Structure 1
Amino acid sequence: MKASDVLVQCLENEGVEYVFGIPGKETLDIVDSLARSTKIKFINVRHEQGAAFMADVYGRLSGKAGVCLATLGPGATNLLTGISSANLDHSPVVALTGQAPFERQHSESHQYVDIVKIFEPITKWSTQIKESQSIPTTIRKAFNIANMTKPGSVVIELPEHLATQEIPNKPLPVKMIPPTIPINEIFQDALAVIRKYKKPFILIGNGVVREQAANELLTFIDALQSPAAHSFMAKGVLAKKHPQNFFTFGFSEQDLVLQGIEEADLLIVIGFDFVEALPKEWNKKKLPVLHIDSMPAENNEYYPVEVELIGSIKHILQQLNQFNIEKKAWEPFGNLREKIKQSYYIGQKISQVSPLLTIENMLAVIEAQCVENTIVISDVGSHKISIARTYQPKQPNRLILSNGLASMGIAIPGSIGAKLACPNDPVICITGDGGALMNMSEIETAKRLGLSFIIIILNDSILKLEQVMMNKKFGESFGVSFSNPDFAQLAESFGVKGKKITTFKDFEESLKKVIESPEELCLFDVCVNN
């Protein structure tokens, strides 16, 4: 059997449903094999960066590795941003790239660059297939590495001449990795730490969402009754009205949650990745830490660990909940929870007298009109900070952000990955005008696939976050303004329904109409009030 056919059968064996990518000369055999697959759909995108972002978000929401494909040289390097973003946000992704034959890899050659070395610093594993018969072993190892704790990106390079070789068809069986939990003595040490301190504060990280441990954590929080706060990517674990919910931490400025953290005497940190926010930003007092995660804690002076519970977060919490958890009910000083709600515009009432078209008012409408399983995807920019503060998803993993790399351009292609991973869930894409034009071409991909979701472009012709930072640092800004096309007309040129929004009432009514009839892709060009 042709090696590329074996590769595709190995992908089928891993449960792959979609491969996002662009064909090239060095990957033609792979695409030909994909064309004959009855289980995998090859999705031809408009830019390889978009393919990587699609695979990233698909991986986060489906719970299995997203797959993308690019040819050698510029095709592969175009994947870099999306692959590194997925790796830092611990999203399982396997990228396949083409490469020149071996005889061209030893001297200067057209389009040849060392893809494996380029990707090594930003992946869990980057490798070249050196003999075609190793394809089954390499694919099985790649998916195992991409999905195992903590998930991330893997890159496999297949030189062109190997793809056509005849090899045996032997995909390896997929075996589940059994969960691990600490021994009983470590649990007793953890319980002793909880008993020792009077004011624990729980910090919820992205690992809780990745490992689907929200229910187990809720049981633990309800027993302990101590305050808790989410990282940006963990939002939705606690309901907005939950009395222990102190919302979101990790902001560089106006992070009111820090007042509660600094009042605590113990931090119970669960599934938190340092890439979300460094401990020196939220543990300035170097409070002792009870670390619960799938991986041991990194050495850090602002993260002084007393006890570590290492293994499956879900199973650790299940076991912890079997013990008698001593109640540690306390509230931070000064009615802090209500102050956070007011400062972050959580549950705000919108003025009925000429309400402004602000991001906070729009988020209030989105939150009110959306159902529980609605997925909101935010691009990067000043609006991301507002969304992280204000928007309260009704379930975990219903707010998707690029947080580790914080890469602009993820929202539109990411929405395609989200809709394919969760076809029955409404998807709303919120992007600034800067991020929108980075991957705007992917709305053609969405239209071609017949996907229906809402794109909201916040149009102010400026990189707002950079403007604010420059004004603060220099007293003025430079190089942050630009002009935009008519986004509504641009959408129409792709066959997508486009509408220009200039008033809050128009936004509210238009959003309601689209949510009630979600059969088509639509784009709102929103002229926001700064």
Structure 2
Amino acid sequence: MAAGSELEKHQMSTAEVLVECLKAEGVKIVFGIPGEENLDLMFALKHSDIRFIPTRHEQGAAFMADVYGRLTGHAGVCLATLGPGATNLVTGVADAFLDGAPLVAITGQVSSELMQFTSHQYLDLSAMFSPITKRSKVVMRPDTVAEICRLAFKYAEAPKPGATHIDLPKNVAHMPSPARPLRKQTPPALYADPASVIEAARLISEAKNPLILVGAGAVRGNASEAVRSMAERLHIPVAQTMMGKGVIPTDSPWRLGVVGIPQHDYIIDAFDEADLVIGVGYDLIECAPTKWHTHPMKIVNIAGLPADVNQYYEPNVEVTGDISDSIYQILRTARRDDKPEPTAMLEVGRRLREDFDELAASDAYPMKPARILKDVRSVMGRFDILVSDVGAHKIWIGRDYPCYEPRTCLISNGFASMGFSVPGAIAAKLVHPECRVLAVTGDGGFMMNSQELETAVREHVPFVTLIWEDEHYGLIKWKEEEQFNDTFGVGFTNPDFKAYAEAMHCHGYEVTSADELVPTLEAAFANEDAPSVVVVKVDYSENMALTERLREAYSK
């Protein structure tokens, strides 16, 4: 029997139609927490083949939906009730909005006839979510639910993805609805104007020292192979943003390093040499151009959408369309056979690799950040996934963690929210159960969403969390030391993390020397029955040591 005939057997409620719409969009999992105002939706989900994963906090649900969207390209879905349930979603929804991750948030709401009053737990959620979503709509009539849902997914999964929001009042959810799911359209591929391709090829051919700057849009656009071809065929070095890591592999001779750490790093020397920067999927939110636009230079922007601009990022030409196709079209006419090798720029990449190797050689305990990353890399396969939280460790991961493929090092660097890694790792393991998944977090960020370990245990999602312990909000301490040569308000105490993990029915490990980290991680990854938590003490005196080393290098 046809699907349409099945739906016509009885008049479905608005909540049931919404679930049919989610199925039509290809939704497999919904993350969230039930409440009184979304019970009709909950029981519609119960009678569907969509998997509902109850989380321990709505923020965790939103981060799971965020990472699900990053890895699949299809909107992750999170669900909450009204009031505090909805406000708890905000951080994760904002993260998806600014980081460009496709996400649809659904909230319950008071009955529509109560919205004009001061009602228990009532907030104007559409107004609240509007600044942090691409579209926020209330389902005020049962016949509009399919249209609202289709548009929510269309906007969320657009060429520049992001978050959208659907608010479903309690009484409307229960009402019969004549609506039926709208057909999901496949958006047409958009290709660049040939004139812009020709002009970009001319600028690239004429430049003495061009440099490619790769951002998150190249990851979303699956443009890694095209970028690698451009680098190799035209002999152009490649820098990456933190969210563009892996587009060019660490072992490529054309890979320079990552822009975006707060300090003036060696990689800026390469930009100092550049007379042309080719932004490929680069978004200003990832790394402000003021950090690398150090002198007059020309800019070519290659992206799926027109660039955001400011006085430091004003492209001479924009090549707007499918990124891979744009690059291959440019390669048909661009020629750099008569140009010298970019030896000065490539020296920057060599310096960064040597710097990492030197710092990673230490056997000291507490462990140096670079040594931790070297050991982590040794146990992670090329396609395994590291999910970084936000803190001092993120700076080290962004700068130094060797990365070989896109979507294997997930870093929130648009909204940059602490608490991202543990729920994000759960979603990553659900999407890629064949991969090792490692959440790397500080002790501050871990305690913000550690409750989701119970979710992972209950849902049988085995991954490993590596906690860098120093009993401080390490990144803020680092900034205070740089600015004030002093610290304030950044210290705290911790539980026994090993015992904490075991109390959550996880496997707990505590590393007590540098040579224990690799075998401990291997043992943790061998556990397939439950998540594992590994705690290692980190020597963050290396933060200011890096600052001083860079200051000394650039004060001459």
Matched with 1:24 is 35
Q: How far is the alpha carbon of 1:11 from its aligned partner?
A: 0.3
Deviation track 1:61-112 (CA, whole Å, cap 9, x = no partner) reads 1111000001111110111110001111100000000111122111211100
Deviations 1:236-292 (A, max 9, x none): 112222111101112220321111111111111110011101111110214110111
User: Per-residue CA shift, 1:148-186, capped at 9, x if unaligned?
Assistant: 120000011011101111123511111110111122222
- Tell me the secondary structure at the aligned position of residue 243 of structure 1: coil
Match of 1:377 in 2: 387
1:124-273 correspondence runs (5 A) = 124-168=134-178, 170-273=180-283
Contact 1:286–1:303 (Cα < 8 Å) also in 2:
no
Compute the RMSD of aligned alpha carbons.
1.6
Tell whether the 8 Å contact from 1:202 to 1:227 is kept in structure 2 after alignment. Answer: yes
Alignment pair present for 1:331 and 2:320: no
Greater shift in the superposed pair: 90-99 or 493-502: 493-502
State the Cα distance separating 1:336 from its structure 2 match. Answer: 2.2
The DSSP-based 3-state class of the residue aligned with 1:367 is helix
> Would the aligned equivalents of 1:287 and 1:303 in 2 still touch at CA under 8 Å?
no
Opposite residue 67 of structure 1, the aligned amino acid is V
Residue 340 of structure 1 corresponds to which residue in structure 2? Answer: 352
Amino acid at match of 2:350: E
1:495 and 1:355 map into 2 onto residues whose CA distance is 28
SS in 2 for 1:438: helix
Paired residues of 1:180 and 1:311 also in contact (CA < 8 A)? yes
- 2:493 aligns to what? 483
1:315-350 deviation digits (Å, cap 9, x = unpaired): 22233333354345422269322212223x158663
Report the Cα distance in structure 1 between the residues aligned to 2:325 and 2:144, rounded to whole angstroms: 35
The answer (yes or no) to whether the contact 1:459–1:527 under 8 Å persists in 2 is yes
- Other-structure match for 1:514: 524
More helix by share: 2
Task: Single out whichever of 107-116 and 161-170 deviates more from structure 2.
Answer: 161-170
Matched position secondary structure for 1:322: helix
Check if 1:274 corresponds to 2:267.
no
Structure 2's unaligned 5+ residue stretches are: 1-11, 541-556
Cα distance in 1, alignment partners of residues 367 and 141 from structure 2: 59
Range that drifts further, 288-297 or 91-100:
288-297
Is residue 80 of structure 1 aligned with residue 59 of structure 2?
A: no
Aligned residue for 1:14?
A: 25
The 3 A distance-change label for structure 1 pair 346 and 13 is: farther
Q: Secondary structure at the match of 1:79?
A: helix
2:410 is the alignment partner of 1:400? yes
Q: Is the 8 A contact 1:72 1:111 kept in 2?
A: yes
How high is the sequence identity, in percent, across the aligned residues? 37
Runs of 5+ consecutive residues of structure 1 not aligned to the other structure: none
Residue 51 of structure 2 is aligned to residue 41 of structure 1:
yes
Distance (whole Å) between structure 2 residues aligned to residue 128 and residue 16 of structure 1: 21
Q: How much does 1:519 deviate?
A: 4.9
Residue correspondences, number:
527
**Cα distance in 2 for residues equivalent to 1:271 and 1:347:** 32
How many angstroms apart in 2 are the aligned matches of 1:14 and 1:325? 44
Flag the 1:349–1:357 CA change in 2: closer, same or farther, 3 A.
closer
Q: Which moved more, 1:165-174 or 1:509-518?
A: 509-518
Report the TM-score, using the length of structure 2 for normalisation: 0.92
User: Take 1:147 and 1:92, find their aligned partners in 2: how far apart are those partners?
Assistant: 5
TM-superposed CA distance for 1:476, in Å, is 1.5
- The one-letter code matched in structure 2 to 1:404 is G
Residue matched to 1:449 = 459
Q: Distance in 2 between matches of 1:151 and 1:118?
A: 20
The separation in 2 between residues aligned to 1:116 and 1:334, in whole angstroms, is 50
Within 1, Cα distance between the matches of 2:151 and 2:466?
A: 39
CA distance in 2, matches of 1:387, 1:197: 32
Task: Go from structure 1 to structure 2 and tell me whether the alpha carbon gap of 1:518 and 1:256 turns closer, same or farther (over 3 Å shift).
Answer: farther
Deviations 1:477-530, CA, capped at 9 Å, x for gaps? 111111111111111111111111121112121112333555531101222233
- Is residue 332 of structure 2 the alignment partner of residue 322 of structure 1? yes
Alignment partner of 2:404: what SS? coil
Given that 2:201 and 2:331 are in contact with CA atoms closer than 8 Å, whether structure 1 keeps it comes out as no
User: Which residue identity is paired with 1:340?
Assistant: L
Whole-angstrom distance in 2 between the partners of 1:354 and 1:53: 35
Q: What secondary structure, in the 3-state scheme, does the structure 1 residue paired with 2:344 have?
A: coil
Check conservation: 1:346, 1:390, Cα contact below 8 A.
Answer: no
Bigger mean CA deviation after superposition, 362-371 or 269-278: 362-371
- Distance in 1, matches of 2:271 and 2:345, equals 11
The alpha-carbon distance between structure 1 residues 521 and 239, as it changes in their structure 2 partners (threshold 3 A), is: same
SS in 2 for 1:321: helix
In structure 2, relative to structure 1, the CA distance for the partners of 1:323 and 1:195 (3 Å cut) is closer
Given the alignment of the two structures, is residue 53 of structure 1 paired with residue 59 of structure 2, yes or no?
no
Contact 2:422/2:439, CA 8 A, preserved across alignment: yes
Instruction: Please say if residues 465 and 532 of structure 2, whose CA atoms lie closer than 8 Å, have aligned partners that are also in contact.
Output: yes
Does residue 291 of structure 1 match 2:301? yes
SS in 2 for 1:380: coil
2:71 & 2:353 partners in 1: Cα distance?
Answer: 28
